Amino acid sequence: MSRAIEDTKKMIDEVLEVYPEKTKKVRAKHIAPNDPSGQCASCQVKSNVKSRPGVMTVRGCAFAGAKGVVWGPVKDQITISHGPIGCGQYSWWARRNYYNGQTGIDTFGTMHITTDFQEKDIVYGGDKHLDAALVELKELFPLAKGIGILSECPVGLIGDDIEAVAKKKVKEFGMPIVPVRCEGFRGVSQSLGHHIANDTIRDHILGKGKLETSTPYDVALIGDYNIGGDAWASRKMLEEMGLRVIAQWTGDASVNEMGIAHKSKLNLIHCYRSMNYICRHMEETYGTPWLEFNFFGPTKIYESIRKIAAQFDDTIKVKAEAMIEKYKPKMDAVIEKYRPRLEGRTVMLYVGGLRPRHTIGAYEDLGMEVVASGYEFGHNDDYKRTYEVMKEGALIIDDATEYELEEFTHRMKPDLVGAGIKEKYTYHKMGVPFRQMHSWDYSGPYHGFDGFGVFARDMDATVNSPTWDLIRRKK
């Protein structure tokens, strides 16, 4: 074991000391020093298992994964938060999945639509109520292309048959009605919600869309939720290199696009965690290959563009190289401006999906080092992809608690922390520069050539803000 690994191990043990015995044992399996070589057996973290009760986990639930992440952004479908009032209220337009359309007329992304369960629905069941709700929605929103029924906890507990209600209405309405069993108590985190949502895309939408013509350059952009316009920035690049993006999942997606992705020649997946399931399905069923890529920061962008172009003929390769040539001066200018201001600064990340590993290259382009990273709801395959891109002895943390994040921050003293809204203001109070890395702190895009400049500008604004120096620190 190297010195770096040993030091980190010692720090982890100290932080875990406060826990009751059983919880300490469990948490110890989720936090480890990084070992890119793979030789340290105890350095592999355990993941995708239940959070311990009472520890203040950062995690959310399956509903958040299915409604908030995967289905919510589909713009011309009405997404019902089916159950009591809260879940839909708290996830109302919180993820900034940008879309074009006239809200309330042909698109519905920024609306909170709920069956608002009352006690009688719990006692007598909510199916009749749901049936009637679907009729009312159909009448008030004639241009909707589908309706998703996203179940909240009570629906699954009282034994409602939302599938039967949906099936009946599909025939009546002649459009997809998608029952999604994403009750919050299912699974251990948002992750199962993604999987459940993927399965419902497979069962109710995929293969049913219209695509008039096909070209050899058709691709689908998968696992980009268009937060702050990310998918648009990525699409711009794919189009410029000569590809035809036939579907965008699910940021700014239409129901039709959800139905035609299998017809692409290559599925390009950004957020592996939330949409690998459906990519595997399309590969197995339709033979559509898929490829992971990373559009954060120029190093990874160039690498990804070349990797994507390599799947196509020379016309694409030539255009891809020309595009890199065109944008490189701008990327260099961004680095020239911001790198001197950020060089050598350390970063702690605790996020979800793809970001704990995908943003590392972008920080490195700016001369920053990610010294700790972790996933709210990652699986083993996410961590495997992470070990190799981080330094030996870096901290890897799965399903962190708020206590642990604070403690590791005190010990590691990162210059910047990137996590979510629940962490943000604790760090502000601690006087530690912080960026929300779920919502881009209401900025963005961060993807692609157009995103990198915004990313660099934002990191600089926060790391070097004069406001931190105003804090009169109590000892």
Q: Which of 9, 52, 357, 447 binds other proteins (CB under 8 A)?
A: 52
DSSP per residue over 378-407, as a string? --HHHHHHHHTTS-TT-EEEES-BHHHHHH
Select from 393, 398, 399, 407 the least CA-distant residue to 15.
407
C-alpha to C-alpha distance for 115 and 126, rounded to whole angstroms: 9
285 binds other proteins (CB under 8 A): no
Per annotation, catalytic residue among 32, 62, 64, 279:
64
For residues 30 and 377, the answer to whether their CB atoms sit within 8 Å is no
Give the binding-site size for other proteins (rule: CB under 8 A). 128
42 binds other proteins (CB under 8 A): no
Looking at beta carbons only, is 42 or 93 nearer to other proteins? 93
Per annotation, catalytic residue among 27, 96, 194, 345:
194
Provide, rounded to whole angstroms, the least separation between the CB of residue 133 and other proteins: 4
Looking at beta carbons only, is 257 or 415 nearer to other proteins? 257
Q: 33 in helix, strand or coil?
A: strand
Q: Is 194 a catalytic residue?
A: yes
33 binds other proteins (CB under 8 A): no
119 binds other proteins (CB under 8 A): yes
C-alpha to C-alpha distance for 5 and 115, rounded to whole angstroms: 52
In the window 252-271, what residues touch other proteins (CB under 8 A)? 252, 254-257, 260
Provide, rounded to whole angstroms, the least separation between the CB of residue 75 and other proteins: 9
C-alpha to C-alpha distance for 189 and 179, rounded to whole angstroms: 20
Looking at beta carbons only, is 330 or 385 nearer to other proteins? 330
Provide, rounded to whole angstroms, the least separation between the CB of residue 384 and other proteins: 25
412 binds other proteins (CB under 8 A): no
The amino acid at residue 260 is I
Name the one range near other proteins by CB under 8 A: 103-111, 166-174, 298-306, 386-394.
Answer: 103-111
Site string for other proteins, 419-448 (x = CB under 8 A): -xxx-xxxxxxxx-----------xxx---
C-alpha to C-alpha distance for 469 and 79, rounded to whole angstroms: 45
90 binds other proteins (CB under 8 A): yes
The amino acid at residue 64 is A
Per annotation, catalytic residue among 27, 30, 43, 61:
61
Q: Is 333 a catalytic residue?
A: no
C-alpha to C-alpha distance for 57 and 432, rounded to whole angstroms: 21
Q: Which of 1, 10, 14, 18 binds other proteins (CB under 8 A)?
A: 18
121 binds other proteins (CB under 8 A): yes
Select from 406, 382, 408, 376 the least CA-distant residue to 58.
376
Looking at beta carbons only, is 167 or 328 nearer to other proteins? 328
In the window 338-397, what residues touch other proteins (CB under 8 A)? none
Residues facing 170 on adjacent strands: none
Q: Return the DSSP state at 71.
A: I
Provide, rounded to whole angstroms, the least separation between the CB of residue 403 and other proteins: 5
Q: Return the DSSP state at 51.
A: P
Q: Is 261 a catalytic residue?
A: no
Interacting residues of 426 by C-beta distance below 8 A, sequence separation 6+: 402, 406
In the window 123-182, what residues touch other proteins (CB under 8 A)? 129-130, 132-133, 136-137, 139-140, 142-143, 145, 152-154, 156-158
Provide, rounded to whole angstroms, the least separation between the CB of residue 96 and other proteins: 9
Site string for other proteins, 217-246 (x = CB under 8 A): -----------xx--xx-xx--x-----xx
C-alpha to C-alpha distance for 452 and 332, rounded to whole angstroms: 11
Name the one range near other proteins by CB under 8 A: 30-38, 40-48, 56-64, 390-398.
Answer: 56-64
194 binds other proteins (CB under 8 A): no
C-alpha to C-alpha distance for 393 and 290, rounded to whole angstroms: 33
Name the one range near other proteins by CB under 8 A: 34-42, 333-341, 358-366, 367-375.
Answer: 333-341
Q: Where are the beta strands (DSSP E) in 168-322?
A: 177-180, 218-224, 244-250, 266-269, 290-292
Provide, rounded to whole angstroms, the least separation between the CB of residue 474 and other proteins: 4
Q: Which of 287, 329, 344, 466 binds other proteins (CB under 8 A)?
A: 329
For residues 299 and 365, the answer to whether their CB atoms sit within 8 Å is yes
C-alpha to C-alpha distance for 391 and 360, rounded to whole angstroms: 11
C-alpha to C-alpha distance for 73 and 257, rounded to whole angstroms: 12
- The alpha carbon of residue 208 and the mean position of all alpha carbons in its chain are separated, in whole angstroms, by 26
C-alpha to C-alpha distance for 456 and 250, rounded to whole angstroms: 26
Active-site positions read 61, 64, 95, 194
